[in-house]
């Protein structure tokens, strides 16, 4: 059991990082009250955290290579603990932003890449597969359990208690960090400052554009800080980020050709299993976060459940994902990673299609819970393989760098999942609502025109009670009010189904990226070096 002590520390760190974000998401309404602000400001705080993570994850991996991974892991935990303490005590919104979005975000960029490399260094063969199964399962469990823990603490105590508890947990992990075996860096590369600036700015702009697409609009401007030639800035911001990333690629290639230490060795992308693994990590998080954006809307807005009740209904996903992820190594003795990942995608496809049928005005708890449990099974199968695939595809010297790429792919997937699925959901809501209004004889032409103007001004996913109150305040007759509410109720359900259907489509596309995954079954000595 002594050899698993390291995994206890590393797994706790992974769970903590994911739990933190989940708690913040379910605490939005309480944060608005406590800081006397609005939802937009709190969402900006959450967006900044994502931006910091995406922008500096690659740099965090390189710093781990320079300073030593265990040292980087410990330093990142210390920074993260300071951020948690500041967040727990935050008297004003700007302090919350500094503590959570900036300091905790920077701490995580040191912890996560080092964590991925330390797992690979501490275990070999089947033990490594088990370790990555645990890490992947705990990541998914944190996403699913976060709303349950955060919802209960926020509802009955205070959200500050979660961050105060994090400080205690971080302190305990720092006391146990010596349990983690470390291999000192064989060389001390110099940090590529230009590469850091180009990669950070490029990734930040891409993620910012995607995250803000729902508020800004893709082409037609909505709530925008500025316009470009009369259009929304979304695509222009993403394009600017793309240009900076192209310059980053050119700069890194130039440094590598001249024998200097690049921030990222793009020659690594010539390794097929690594390329496939990173693509699947991005797809996995895109699907998972897209669903965990959509499903809470269904439970809280349509069904009216509070944060704690919502967390209870997400619990089946957490349980089955952890069990499924832990079963990956056993499955690896009878099937290769490619077969297991493809099986996971097939299970995911079944789960999303089942979830579509379970989304209805009156929830069927058995059908919904079963669909969520199957979803966890599919996600767990992916989580049991992908971390091991990416880390085992390279040698010891590249693992910190690949850890940075691994978590960059996951953060990009999370951002894309939330933004793209959210944008599609709102688009479907508007389309179905407008169509139902147009085709309902109970609604007058004047009300249709007024509704059209309101829709053009922007639509949010709100409860039918709010729609009914707004219709009554506008002076609509009872008959027309009922018609508008009926149309909106149908639009809610259809848009939620469309969003989940989109994740089904992404799951199907994911099969195309599995061709280059390894096919060899797990052996006692597997995973000790570069994959063939």
- Residue 241, in any domain of the structure: yes
Tens-digit pLDDT profile for residues 380-432 = 899 888 888 887 787 766 777 787 788 888 878 877 787 788 878 888 888 88
**Which among 55, 58, 52, 117 is positioned nearest to 80, based on CA atoms?**
52
Report how far residue 154's alpha carbon sits from residue 158's, in angstroms, rounded to the nearest whole number. Answer: 5
Residue 368 confidence (pLDDT): 94
Report yes or no: 461 and 429 within 8 Å, Cβ to Cβ.
Answer: yes
Quick one: pLDDT band at residue 457, thresholds 50, 70, 90? low
Burial of 362 (0-12, 13-18, 19+ CB in 10 A): exposed
- Residue 239, in any domain of the structure: yes
Residue 525 has pLDDT above 60, yes or no: no
Report how far residue 443's alpha carbon sits from residue 453's, in angstroms, rounded to the nearest whole number. Answer: 15
Report yes or no: 26 and 150 within 8 Å, Cβ to Cβ.
Answer: yes
Mean pLDDT of the chain: 83
**Which among 95, 123, 118 is positioned nearest to 37, based on CA atoms?**
95
**Which among 360, 340, 352, 374 is positioned nearest to 506, based on CA atoms?**
352
Q: What stretches of 27-92 show up as alpha helix (H) in DSSP?
A: 28-34, 39-67, 69-89
Q: What is the DSSP string of 20-45?
A: HHHHHHHTHHHHHHHTT--HHHHHHH
- Residue 402, in any domain of the structure: no
Residue 527 has pLDDT above 70, yes or no: no
Tens-digit pLDDT profile for residues 221-262 = 877 788 888 888 989 999 999 999 999 999 988 888 888 888
- Residue 484, in any domain of the structure: no
Residue 349 confidence (pLDDT): 95
Which are the contacts of 251, defined by CB distance < 8 A and separation ≥ 6?
194, 195, 198
Tens-digit pLDDT profile for residues 71-100 = 889 999 999 999 999 999 999 999 999 998
Query: Which pair of tokens denotes residue 4?
Result: 């698993």
- Residue 491, in any domain of the structure: no
Residue 248 confidence (pLDDT): 92
- Residue 196, in any domain of the structure: yes
Report how far residue 283's alpha carbon sits from residue 288's, in angstroms, rounded to the nearest whole number. Answer: 9
Tens-digit pLDDT profile for residues 20-46 = 777 776 676 678 788 887 766 776 787
Count of the separate structural domains present in the chain: 1
- Residue 211, in any domain of the structure: yes
Residue 362 has pLDDT above 70, yes or no: yes
Residue 173 has pLDDT above 70, yes or no: yes
- Residue 404, in any domain of the structure: no
Q: What percent of the chain has pLDDT over 90?
A: 22
Per the structure, the complete domain to which residue 241 belongs is given by 192-262
């Amino acid at each position: 059991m002594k050899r698993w002590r390291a995994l206890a520390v590393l797994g706790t760190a992974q769970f903590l990082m994911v739990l933190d974000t989940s708690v913040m998401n379910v605490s939005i309404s309480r944060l608005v009250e406590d800081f006397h602000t609005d939802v937009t400001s709190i969402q900006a705080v959450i967006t900044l955290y994502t931006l910091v993570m995406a922008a500096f994850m690659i740099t965090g991996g390189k710093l781990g290579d320079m300073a030593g991974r265990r040292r980087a892991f410990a330093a990142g935990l210390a920074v993260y603990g300071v951020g948690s303490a500041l967040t727990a005590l935050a008297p004003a919104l700007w302090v919350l932003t500094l503590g959570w979005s900036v300091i905790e975000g920077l701490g995580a960029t040191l912890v996560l890449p080092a964590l991925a490399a330390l797992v690979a260094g501490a275990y070999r063969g089947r033990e490594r597969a088990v370790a990555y199964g645990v890490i992947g399962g705990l990541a998914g469990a944190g996403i699913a359990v976060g709303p349950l823990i955060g919802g209960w603490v926020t509802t009955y105590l205070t959200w500050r208690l979660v961050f105060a508890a994090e400080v205690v947990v971080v302190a305990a992990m720092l006391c146990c960090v010596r349990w983690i075996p470390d291999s000192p860096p064989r060389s001390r590369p110099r940090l590529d400052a230009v590469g850091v600036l180009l990669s950070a700015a490029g990734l930040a702009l891409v993620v910012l554009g995607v995250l803000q697409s729902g508020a800004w609009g893709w082409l037609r401007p909505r709530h925008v800080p500025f316009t470009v030639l009369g259009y929304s800035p979304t695509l222009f911001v993403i394009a600017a980020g793309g240009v900076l990333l192209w310059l980053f690629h050119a700069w890194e290639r130039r440094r590598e050709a001249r024998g200097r230490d690049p921030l990222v060795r793009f020659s690594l992308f010539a390794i097929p299993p690594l390329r496939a693994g990173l693509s699947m990590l991005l797809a996995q998080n895109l699907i998972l976060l897209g669903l965990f954006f959509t499903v809470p809307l269904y439970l809280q807005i349509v069904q009216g459940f509070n944060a704690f009740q919502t967390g209870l209904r997400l619990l089946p996903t957490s349980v089955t994902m952890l069990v499924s992820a832990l079963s990956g190594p056993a499955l690896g003795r009878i099937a290769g990673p490619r077969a297991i990942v493809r099986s996971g995608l097939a299970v995911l496809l079944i789960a999303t299609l089942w979830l579509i049928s379970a989304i209805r005005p009156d929830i069927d708890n058995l059908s919904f819970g079963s669909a969520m449990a199957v979803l966890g099974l599919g996600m767990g199968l992916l989580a049991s393989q992908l971390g091991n695939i990416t880390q085992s595809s390279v040698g010891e010297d590249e693992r910190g760098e690949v850890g940075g790429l691994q978590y960059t792919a996951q953060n990009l997937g999370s951002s894309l999942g939330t933004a793209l699925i959210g944008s599609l959901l709102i688009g479907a809501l508007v389309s179905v609502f407008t169509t139902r209004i147009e085709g309902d004889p109970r609604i007058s032409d004047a009300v249709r025109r007024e509704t059209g103007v309101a829709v053009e001004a922007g639509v949010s996913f709100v409860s039918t009670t709010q729609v009914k109150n707004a219709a009554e305040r506008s002076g609509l007759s009872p008959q027309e009010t009922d018609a508008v509410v009926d149309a909106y109720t149908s639009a809610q359900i259809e848009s939620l189904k469309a969003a989940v259907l989109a994740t089904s489509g992404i799951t199907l596309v994911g099969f195309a990226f599995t061709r280059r995954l390894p096919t060899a079954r797990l052996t006692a000595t597997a995973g000790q070096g570069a994959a063939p």
